[in-house]
Structures are given as structure tokens and as C-alpha cells.
Chain A
Amino acid sequence: MGIRSIGELICVQEIVAVNAMMRYWKYLFPTGLFALLLWGGAAVCRVDPVALIAGVPQGIQLLGHMLPPAWKTFPELIGPALQTAQIAFVGTVLGAFLSFLIGLIAARNVHSMKVLRNMVRAILSAERALPDLIVILFFVAIVGLGPFPGVMALAASSIGMLGKLFADAIEEVDPKPLESMVALGATKAQVIRYAVLPQIIPSLIANTLYRFEVNIRMCILLGVVGAGGIGFNLVTSLRLLKYQEAMAVIITILILVTLCEKSSEILRRIVVGQELLR
């Protein structure tokens, strides 16, 4: 180290300037802006912690009305609970099957009809953008109340997500086996059956199981709008102010959802785990 040259001096000034710029414009300004937006948003939504705290006794009172749960109603709830699980199961399987077919159309490496593929992709993303509740209400409107519109709604809303995931999985398969089967004279259906399907089976099963978990939760909501299942019991008992029965329904729902999620998780781990541990 010796006498600093003018060049070095300029360098130091530059460092100071850059550092200040970073401090104010890169960190302080964005943070300030974000804080302002958050405060503004909260003000518009009338976020009021005082009201929340003031409501606590009311909440405790409601909980008090719900306890103890009406244990004797449990036997009546088993039927609706099973129906909910069945709606979710049938809806998911139907949706997954249709999604596989749609995935084949939406995948880049299966056929060369670009317009058709882009159209299907666009429909899939439009379906994903549509809130599930609207899909459910749509099917209630066209096939009426009961478990059938529930099945249809779950199948339809599964397609948006599964169709895209399956199409992506199909696009990621190793192309060499496909081409080698084409080279020995296999038909397109045979190539799909023996080269594509075996490669995407793990993704197919894992994603379908995940969707089943989503659907079982959605299925509770289905009952609320009248499409069958245990959600209907919840709305009825709340409307009749039978809070203890409502609590029994809530507990049944918790058990049902937990059971379904756990068993799906175990199945998924068997399928995917096998892949990771090979």
C-alpha cells in the first residue's frame, strides 16, 4: 500500500455511490413500497384486531354450544361419509382416465396436429383458471342435485390439472424407445402402450392420488351446494341450529379426510419411493 492514485480515489467515490444506490433503491424503496401497499390493503379490508379480540367470547360460546358432540348421530353419518369418499373416488378415476386421453392429444411428441394440440392446451388452462365452485354449480345446473353432478364436477375439475401434468409427463419420456418401435413397424397405439405408458405410470399414479386428496376436500364443499355427500349434513344441522350435531359432522369429516389422505400418501410413497430407491 502506498500513496493512493487519483484513479483509486475515483474508485472509492464510485463504491460509495453504488453502495448508497443499492441501500436506497434496491432495498429501502421496495420495502417501503410493499409496506405501503400492505397497509393500504389492510385499511380497505378493515382489518381490525380489536374486533377479533372482542369476538373471542362469542366464539367460545359457540364452541360451548357445539360440545359435547352428538355422538349418537355418528351411525347416521357413516353413509354420507362413504358417499363422499365414493364420489371422490369415481370422480377422480373418471377424471384421470379422460386426462390421460387428453394428455395424449396435448403432448407435443404424440402427433403433429399443432392446432388441435394448442386448442386442447388452451382449454386446459382455461379450466384451471375457473374456480372449482363454478364448475360444480354448472353441473348441478345441468344434471340436478345428488351425487352424479358431484362425480361429474370432480372429473371435470380434475382434467384441468391432470391433463396438463400428464401431457408434460408424456412430453418428457425418453424418445429412443418410441422411435425404435416405430422403426420395427409398430402402430401408434402400440407405441403408446409399450413405450409411452410404462414410462409415465409413476407420474400417472402419483398425480392421480394427489388429485384424489384435493377432490375429497372439494367433495365436502359439493355437499354444501347440494351435490351429495356429508357436506349436506353439515349445512342442514347448522341451519337447524343443531350445533352438537354439526360438531359430530365436523369430526366425521376430519376423520374421513385424514384417512383418505394418509392412505393416498402411503400408496404414493410405495409408487414413487420405488422409483427413488431403485
Chain B
Amino acid sequence: MLQRLQHLLGIENLTREQITFILDQSKPFQEFQRHPLKKLATLRGKTVALAFFEPSTRTRISFATAAARLGADTMNLQAESSSLRKGESLLDTVRTLEAMRPDGIVIRHSSSGAPHFVAERLEVPVLNAGDGTHEHPTQALLDALTIRDRKGKLEGWNVTILGDILHSRVARSDIQLLGKFGTRITLCGPAMWVPRELESLAPKIHREPRIERALDEADVIIVLRVQTERMHEPALAAEEFILGYQLTAERLRLARPEALVLHPGPMIRGLEIDPVVADGTQSCVLEQVTNGLAVRMALLYHLVGGAPVDEPHPAKERSSAAD
């Protein structure tokens, strides 16, 4: 029996079994996206607070849609709007949230550890939508689902992660997750963005500064965004980056023939990825978006649904039809 997940703060502390459970549970929600009518009542009456301290359109809309399709209401707290004054302390925001009594909180914040801060102080399930340079667990889960669906299984592939890995929470969550499934991980990017300590994050992982070598035998390539808001340090000229690290069609051919190309989005076509590759048959970016919705629905269903953990449930027995 799977221990009930109370929060989703990161991949690091999830077991293989828990990850597999989440991926398995995402499948009915993938199927659901094909229904003509995409509205359930299963989380009706529940409210999910979306506390996005960092600007984000895609992830926020994905979570908002997931909640809405499950029938839940959402509360939108955004850094730009008046509901989260710039500079208002996290502690005050926590108190505000507590007063609003949501059934779940989705939080994105620029400080690593902010979701943990909230989870320690409130009895409400917390889902990490990205904290600082720490983790972005739902991205890793949807990446894993995409790989598993396309490749048939998740174990044992060669995965190359390309770009500014040091500042990427997506990369860290991907590394944590794939590391639990026997993946051989190759990290490739400009040296100052791929420090040695990254190799301590997973068992079979190494750095390879030359893209040609890094792509050799790759089954999956995860291309990272060039982050403008998280301070590339030092700033690298775009031409330098493209020269060394852009995923071109030609470079893609160095990988295995059926290699997948994943990208957390949004892509800057012509910078980290050649438009031909972005739109090519090996690119999985559109599935990543649909899978993101399915994963987030599965997570909200399990974490936000149901009675609060310490409330006893009335045992009205039904016949075995309600299995």
C-alpha cells in the first residue's frame, strides 16, 4: 500500500514506487483529455490556491486548467497583482493563505525551499511548481511520462541534458527522477554552467563538454531553455552558445535514430534548438504539454481530493459495485 503522499515538494524524496504510481495514475487523465466534455465533479467544492511568486504563464495555466477540469475552484495569487505585494514576506503570505483555507496550494517561488517553508507551517497539501534552482517536480514527472509512453518503458535509457544545468531546477528534478530508474545521464553545456557537484545527484552521471560526444548513443535529449530571468553568469554571447550547444538537425543525427527530443518550454527557436528539430518528428514538446495536464490532474486528484487525513470517514457500506 502506497504511503499517502501529503505534499509534492520534490522528486528527491520520492521512491521509485511512488513515481511509478503517479505516472500510472496519469494515464486515465491522459485519456480524459480526449473526452468531448472535459469537466469532472470529483474535486467539486475544493479550492486550490495558485501562489505564483514568479511570473509563469504556462505552468500556472496548466495547473489552473487541471484544477478546473477536476471541478475545483482556484484562487489566484500572483506577484504582479495586488494580492501578493512585492516584498510581502513569505510568512505573511502563509498567514493570508491560512486564513483563506484552501484545500491545496500550488506554489512557485524564487527561493529554493519556499514550498518546504509553507508545508512546515500549514496543514494544507503543498505542490511545488518550481522553487529557486532547487526542483520542478511536475516537469520531471511529465518528462518521465512522455519518455515512458514513447519508448515503452522508463528504465535504462541514455539521457543527455543540454544547456545551463547549474541554474535549471527542471534539470535537477529530471536528474533526480531518471537517476532512480537506472538511467545513464550525460550533462552537456558551457563549463561554468555544468559544475562537478552535479555529478553527486545521481548514480550514473557524467559531464561531457563537447556536444558531439554527449549526443553519441543518446536515447533521449532534454534541451534546456536559455534562462534570462535566472541570471546566466557570466553572460555568454548567443553566437558562442549556438556554436557549441545548439541542437541542430545535424547534431541530432549523432544520437540514436529513434532518440526523443524534450524541452520544458518555452523554446527560443534558433537559440538552444534549431526550428527544424523543434518541429520535427522526434520532438515531443506538444505531448509534454498534454502530459503535463494529465500529471497535474492526477496529483491534484490524489493530494487535494478526499477528506483531510485526520478526519474519520463515515463508513457507509456500499455493495461491491463501488469497488
A binds B: no
Binding site for A on B (CB under 8 A): none
Binding site for B on A (CB under 8 A): none
